[in-house]
């Protein structure tokens, strides 16, 4: 995880670095720091490396008095999500070597740092932090004999694991050296200088022209040039890509929190995701015409967290309309369990950020077994898109809050469109598919309706926000929604919660039910609604209080509170029924006075395994 930014040019570096870090805080916010090459003397070649860093968020760093002394035009910066070592000033980046001449910021994990530490100590170096990163500036120092590029490439050859690094040094004050492997890094270029960041939005205010660094590549960034090398220092050529994104859409626009704004953006985000891909009169258009879907006998949907829940919600759609057995797997399991895949397997990967380490590894594994890989991603140009055979984008817009909301609804929507596309290709274009298509086109309006009805939950959230344990139950697609609702609640309200398939309750978990335990039931399928009602009654008989989210006509006076949501095709209900659960988690976190957008211990992009 962690976010890194860099700048070299004619402007002062610090404001650019701080702005970039603020936008990258979704990648971690345990500590933040900046290193700048300052020139305070009349001798224009006399540069000094100055560092300000501290525990806490970027605003803490911004308000640090020492920041105003950093006046240089060359700098690197970091916002940390702690992996090795507690969040503390000592463990904050930038890290320096023993001579204080090289400063490094790093995103990723150096897996062999213990042996590298030993090697450095045997060579007389001292290490002061608990981090894996501190070995990097010291290795650069050890290999430096006048050529920084060579010292960085020699260091890279020693590193195992993942890294995106930026290096500055008093020895070469006109350069930032950057390198990467399995962690993202982009370079934005403009007439006023060159910018480096972990993602595009962090520097989109300054330029829309970007270079993308690939794995095991190094770049020498100067104020008016950018050069690229492979790890053996052979020069390579890269072309600039122009990115059309709106930097304004990353603002809160009057909402109290990004999460609330993103919940409200769902009707529009889903409308954008449908775009011109789907219409009643024409074949679905996804620009993936080269895939021969007839050759697949199995589908795998692989992802992490909320994206995996989107896969769970979509599995029955693929099985019903494409008639291909579909398995959903957690990327961190898939990558290590030798899944049975070959050239007849279609692997779909889902990721909002496109940078999740386990999902990237899962894509690489699937490709190595000759499976066809397609990724559903929100962030344009992100790493997963570069590893997959095919990518289709959700058009959710930037999702800033750590808790994913609009990315999820857009992912399930796009998976639905993909299933329709495949069913049409396979010749299963019947009236059931047509009515599913029609329902999908109505989603933006249904989402608008559910935004209104969900607000009623505030009262209920106020009543129960002090509880310690909550349970969610549902069947089929409703169970997938329960998993996601429970994750939302855990991550932003810190309340323990679990989701069960309704029928499982009596096989163990019912032992946990006591007087006033809250159970949230989700019921959107008329075929199984009576069954789940019975399961809720079983819990009520043991003292539980029930909150029900439903689009069915359920007349039961034992239910404590009901949120009625608009009816929709059962297979699309996860896109609608999740909305009240998003609000529920949000209101509870607000009543508990918690930071909704940046919950403790989490980061938006999980770029380590």
The residues annotated with a catalytic role in the active site are: 2, 604
Give me the least distance between CB of 290 and ligand M6R, in Å please: 25
Return the residue of 153, 169, 306, 326 that touches ligand M6R, per CB under 6 A: 306
Using the rule CB under 6 A, is 404 a contact of ligand M6R?
A: yes
Q: Quick check: 181 and 216 in contact, CB under 8 A? A: yes
Task: Please identify, using beta-carbon distances, which residue of 259 and 523 lies nearer to ligand M6R.
Answer: 259
Using the rule CB under 6 A, is 353 a contact of ligand M6R?
A: yes
Q: Is the dihedral of CA 16, 22, 26, 27 positive or negative?
A: positive
Task: Please identify, using beta-carbon distances, which residue of 274 and 606 lies nearer to ligand M6R.
Answer: 606
Cβ neighbours around 401 below 10 Å, total: 23
* CA–CA distance, 171 with 174 (Å, rounded to integer): 9
Give me the least distance between CB of 416 and ligand M6R, in Å please: 18
Give me the least distance between CB of 378 and ligand M6R, in Å please: 8
Q: Mask of contacts with ligand M6R, 449-488, x by CB under 6 A?
A: --------------------------------------x-
Give me the least distance between CB of 85 and ligand M6R, in Å please: 22
Give me the least distance between CB of 218 and ligand M6R, in Å please: 27
User: Which segment (32-40, 225-233, 301-309, 518-526) binds ligand M6R by CB under 6 A?
Assistant: 301-309
Using the rule CB under 6 A, is 305 a contact of ligand M6R?
A: yes
Task: Please identify, using beta-carbon distances, which residue of 391 and 404 lies nearer to ligand M6R.
Answer: 404
Which of 412, 567, 383 has its CA nearest to residue 480?
412
Three-point CA angle 369, 374, 378, nearest 5°: 140
Give me the least distance between CB of 491 and ligand M6R, in Å please: 6
532 — phi, psi (to 5°)? -70, -35
Which of 286, 283, 291 has its CA nearest to residue 273?
286
Task: Please identify, using beta-carbon distances, which residue of 80 and 437 lies nearer to ligand M6R.
Answer: 80
6 — phi, psi (to 5°)? -150, 155
Q: Quick check: 79 and 61 in contact, CB under 8 A? A: no
Using the rule CB under 6 A, is 22 a contact of ligand M6R?
A: no
Using the rule CB under 6 A, is 356 a contact of ligand M6R?
A: yes
Give me the least distance between CB of 48 and ligand M6R, in Å please: 39
Three-point CA angle 207, 56, 98, nearest 5°: 85
Using the rule CB under 6 A, is 304 a contact of ligand M6R?
A: yes
Task: Please identify, using beta-carbon distances, which residue of 217 and 597 lies nearer to ligand M6R.
Answer: 597
Q: Which of residues 258-297 bind ligand M6R (CB under 6 A)?
A: none
User: For 380-399, b where at least 16 C-beta lie within 10 A, e where not — what string?
Assistant: bbbbbbbbbbbbbbbbbbbb
Task: Please identify, using beta-carbon distances, which residue of 91 and 382 lies nearer to ligand M6R.
Answer: 382
Cβ neighbours around 429 below 10 Å, total: 16
Strand duo 545-550 + 518-523: pairing: parallel
The token pair at 590 is 């607000």
Q: Quick check: 156 and 112 in contact, CB under 8 A? A: no
Return the residue of 24, 196, 307, 464 that touches ligand M6R, per CB under 6 A: 307
Give me the least distance between CB of 5 and ligand M6R, in Å please: 20
Using the rule CB under 6 A, is 550 a contact of ligand M6R?
A: no
User: Which segment (246-254, 352-360, 508-516, 558-566) binds ligand M6R by CB under 6 A?
Assistant: 352-360
* CA–CA distance, 444 with 566 (Å, rounded to integer): 12
Task: Please identify, using beta-carbon distances, which residue of 359 and 502 lies nearer to ligand M6R.
Answer: 359
Kindly compute the dihedral angle of the four CA atoms of residues 41, 46, 52, 53, in this order, to the nearest 10 degrees: 180
User: Which segment (54-62, 76-84, 257-265, 400-408) binds ligand M6R by CB under 6 A?
Assistant: 400-408
Using the rule CB under 6 A, is 491 a contact of ligand M6R?
A: yes
Give me the least distance between CB of 204 and ligand M6R, in Å please: 19
Which of 197, 169, 201, 239 has its CA nearest to residue 7?
197
Q: Is the dihedral of CA 175, 179, 184, 186 positive or negative?
A: positive
Return the residue of 284, 351, 413, 518 that touches ligand M6R, per CB under 6 A: 351
The residue with its CB nearest to ligand M6R is: 305
Q: How many residues bind ligand M6R (CB under 6 A)?
A: 16
Task: Please identify, using beta-carbon distances, which residue of 166 and 355 lies nearer to ligand M6R.
Answer: 355
Using the rule CB under 6 A, is 606 a contact of ligand M6R?
A: yes
* CA–CA distance, 475 with 316 (Å, rounded to integer): 12
Using the rule CB under 6 A, is 375 a contact of ligand M6R?
A: no
Give me the least distance between CB of 304 and ligand M6R, in Å please: 4
Task: Please identify, using beta-carbon distances, which residue of 424 and 491 lies nearer to ligand M6R.
Answer: 491
Phi-psi region of 201 (alpha: psi -120 to 50; beta: other; left: phi over 0): alpha
* CA–CA distance, 15 with 33 (Å, rounded to integer): 13
Residues 6+ apart with CB under 8 A from 241: 209, 210, 211, 212, 381
Using the rule CB under 6 A, is 359 a contact of ligand M6R?
A: yes
DSSP state of 209: E
Element (H, E) at 576: helix 573-591
Task: Please identify, using beta-carbon distances, which residue of 3 and 75 lies nearer to ligand M6R.
Answer: 3
Residues forming contacts to ligand M6R in the complex (CB under 6 A) are 304-307, 351-353, 356, 359, 402-404, 487, 491, 605-606
């Amino acid at each position: 995880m962690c976010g890194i930014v860099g700048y070299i040019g004619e402007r002062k570096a610090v404001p650019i670095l701080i702005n970039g870090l603020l936008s990258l805080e979704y990648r971690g916010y345990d500590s933040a720091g900046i290193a700048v090459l300052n020139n305070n003397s009349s001798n224009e070649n006399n540069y000094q490396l100055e560092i300000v860093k501290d525990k806490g968020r970027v605003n803490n760093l911004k308000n640090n008095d020492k920041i105003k002394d950093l006046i240089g035009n060359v700098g690197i910066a970091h916002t940390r999500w702690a992996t090795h070592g507690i969040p503390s000033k000592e463990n904050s980046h930038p890290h320096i070597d023993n001579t204080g001449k090289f400063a490094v910021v790093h995103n990723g994990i150096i897996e062999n740092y213990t042996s590298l530490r030993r090697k450095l100590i045997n060579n007389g170096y001292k290490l002061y932090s608990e981090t894996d990163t501190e070995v990097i500036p010291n290795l650069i120092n050890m290999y430096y004999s006048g050529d920084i590029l060579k010292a960085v490439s020699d260091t890279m050859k020693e590193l195992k694991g993942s890294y995106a690094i930026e290096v500055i040094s008093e020895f070469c004050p006109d350069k930032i050296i950057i390198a990467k492997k399995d962690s993202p890094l982009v370079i934005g270029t403009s007439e006023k200088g060159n910018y480096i960041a972990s993602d595009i939005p962090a520097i989109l205010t300054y330029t829309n022209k970007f270079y993308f660094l690939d794995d095991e590549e190094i770049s020498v960034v100067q104020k008016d040039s950018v050069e690229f090398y492979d790890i053996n220092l052979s020069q390579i050529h890269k072309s600039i890509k122009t990115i059309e994104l709106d930097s304004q859409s990353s603002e809160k626009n009057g909402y109290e929190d990004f999460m609330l704004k993103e919940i409200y953006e769902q009707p529009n985000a889903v409308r954008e995701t449908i775009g011109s891909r789907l219409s009643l009169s024409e074949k679905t258009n996804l620009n993936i015409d080269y895939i021969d879907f007839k050759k697949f006998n199995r589908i795998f949907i692989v992802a992490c967290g909320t994206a995996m829940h989107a896969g769970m919600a979509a599995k029955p759609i693929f099985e019903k309309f494409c008639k291909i057995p579909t398995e959903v797997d957690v990327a961190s399991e898939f990558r290590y369990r030798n899944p049975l895949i070959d050239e007849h397997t279609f692997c779909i990967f889902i990721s909002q950020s496109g940078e999740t380490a386990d999902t990237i590894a899962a894509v690489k594994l699937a490709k190595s077994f000759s499976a066809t890989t397609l990724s559903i991603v929100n962030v344009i140009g992100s790493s997963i898109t570069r590893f997959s055979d095919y990518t289709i984008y959700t058009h959710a817009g930037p999702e800033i809050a750590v808790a994913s909301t609009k990315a999820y609804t857009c992912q399930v929507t796009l998976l639905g469109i993909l299933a329709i596309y495949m069913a049409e290709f396979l010749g299963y274009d019947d009236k059931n598919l047509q009515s599913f298509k029609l329902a999908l086109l109505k989603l933006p309006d249904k989402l608008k309706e559910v935004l209104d009805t969900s607000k009623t939950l505030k009262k209920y959230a106020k009543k129960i926000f002090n509880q310690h344990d909550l349970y969610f139950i549902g069947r089929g697609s409703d169970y997938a929604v329960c998993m996601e609702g429970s994750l939302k609640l855990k991550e932003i309200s810190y309340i323990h919660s679990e989701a069960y398939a309704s029928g499982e309750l009596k096989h163990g978990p019912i032992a946990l039910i006591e007087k006033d335990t809250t159970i949230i039931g989700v019921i959107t399928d008329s075929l199984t609604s009576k069954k789940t009602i019975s399961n809720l009654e079983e819990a009520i008989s043991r003292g539980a209080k029930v909150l029900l989210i439903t689009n069915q006509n359920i007349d039961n006076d034992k239910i404590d509170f009901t949120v009625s949501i608009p009816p929709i095709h059962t297979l699309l209900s996860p896109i609608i029924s999740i909305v009240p659960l998003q609000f529920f988690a949000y209101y509870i976190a607000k009543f508990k006075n918690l930071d909704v957008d940046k919950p403790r211990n989490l980061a938006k992009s999980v770029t380590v395994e």
